[in-house]
Amino acid sequence: MKFFLSNKQRLHPGMWGHEPTPAKATASYEEASQQLWAAVSSMRHQDNQWVTLIGRPSAEFLEQLKRAGIHKERIRCIAPNSSETALWATEQALLLNNSQLVIAWLPHCSERDEKRLQLVAKNSKSLSFVFTNSEANPQLH
């Protein structure tokens, strides 16, 4: 399983390093998980924030969001019926910029599609976590 996320660090525009940070590949599930729950906890006391979930999150994950203080009426769940639809829904959620947090589980994602999502995430105001089943380096035999 592979993960990538957009790292939205906001710096003062008059300082060096104000350029947007590109989406980065995350080395481990633990690191992605820690960053995800840090983002969720920062949203805890903000009633106007939306979380968009694309794919099939587990009931346990939804329960964790609720326990973290995210109101269930502020969670959008999109259950696409194909990989292409999931990819399209993720792209649209990032382009709309109406969610504070976009989390997607994509069953199959080509390297080209991954790059496309990273470009969209780079220009999005949403913080995004994309979990894919594609392998970074397929093994050669």
Residue 16 lies in a domain: no
Domain contains 87: yes
Inside any domain, residue 112: yes
| 18 occurs within a structural domain | no
Residue-number span of the structural domain to which 79 is assigned = 2-6+28-41+49-132
Tally of domains in the chain: 1
Of residues 99 and 35, which shows the higher confidence score? Answer: 99
Q: Looking at residues 129-137, what average pLDDT do you find?
A: 67
pLDDT score at 53 = 95
In a domain, 62, yes or no: yes
- pLDDT at residue 34 in the model: 72
Please report whether residue 23 resides in a domain: no
Mean pLDDT of the chain: 76
In a domain, 68, yes or no: yes
Q: What is the CATH number of the domain that holds 79?
A: 3.40.50.300
Would you say residue 141 lies in a domain? no
Task: Convert the pLDDT of each residue in 95-126 to its tens digit.
Answer: 998 888 999 998 888 889 989 999 999 999 88
State pLDDT tens for residues 43-67.
Answer: 766 667 789 999 988 889 888 888 8
| Residue 17 reports pLDDT greater than 60 | no
DSSP string, the chain: -EEEE-------TTSTT-SPPPPEEES-HHHHHHHHHHHHHHTTT-TT--EEEES---HHHHHHHHHTT--GGGEEEE--SSHHHHHHHHHHHHHHT--SEEEEEES---HHHHHHHHHHHHH-SSEEEEEE---SSPPP-
